[in-house]
Amino acid sequence: MSLSAEDLMLVRGGACVVEGLSATLEPGTITAIVGPNGAGKSSLLLGLAGLLAPSAGRVVQGGSDLASVSPRKRAQAIGYLPQMPEIAWDIAVENLVALGRLPWRDRGTQAIEAAIAALTLEELRHRPASRLSGGERARVLLARVLAGEPRWILADEPVAALDLAHQIALITHLKACAKAGQGVVLVLHDLALAMNHADRVLVLEQGRLVADGTPEAALACDVIARVWGVQAQWLGKAPAMGLVTTPQGQAQA
């Protein structure tokens, strides 16, 4: 069942952060949301998760307006991982992952074990949350989302705190989730990750959708120049492309 934004307008702190945005996301795919700082990426993800009420327009999942769906039903359908998630209780990793089953009101042992295995957390399962590194913490909290077996996985910068090996493992698992029919939506700053692993890319600039399509089309060099103000060139070819900027950009990804 698709997840759609229909002429969506979102306001935070009295400022319009997303305006007039329409897009229909399909299950079985990975969609990357990219854009400069302050473009509205995290706000859009909050809106798609039903956690930020629209000031205009609506978000629809499976034919139902999210505003009319109960929090429990919404949590069963959509798993959301914020950019800087908090851990409220100093509990063991396996118990923290198990919290992902709360929307279903069951233990869901098989789903919990699958999430722990997917994020390679077996050796950490009895460790208290207070003794986790930043990368370990990020993996545990994503495992909590996966344990809920949502139809949609929405994650804000899920690879930011991970080392290269765990980044690759996570992206590989999310691809498997998409292949199995789940919808995956990721906010990313790394354009090379979006180019190499997303099926579709949404580019935001000042709260507006300015490009939407395949990675090759949405992240064309002229789009990068217009939105990020950087002259860039893609090197290599799919499925592994890297992005380098000209000397004026003084950056490399």
Q: Is 27 contained in some domain?
A: yes
Q: Where residue 117 sits, what CATH number does that domain have?
A: 3.40.50.300
Total domains present in the chain? 1
Q: Is 252 contained in some domain?
A: no
Q: Is 45 contained in some domain?
A: yes
Q: What are phi and psi of 41, to 5 degrees?
A: -65, -55
pLDDT at 87: 86
Q: Is 213 contained in some domain?
A: yes
Where do we find the tokens 């139809």? 151
85 or 179: whose pLDDT is higher? 179
Helix, strand, coil distribution of the chain in percent, nearest 5: 40, 30, 35
Q: Is 97 contained in some domain?
A: yes
Domain span including residue 40? 3-245
Q: Is 251 contained in some domain?
A: no
pLDDT tens for each residue of 143-186: 999 999 999 999 999 988 888 888 888 898 899 999 999 999 99
Burial readout 34-50 (b: 16 or more C-beta within 10 A, e: otherwise): bbbeebbbbbbbbbbbb
How confident is the prediction for the chain on average, in pLDDT? 92
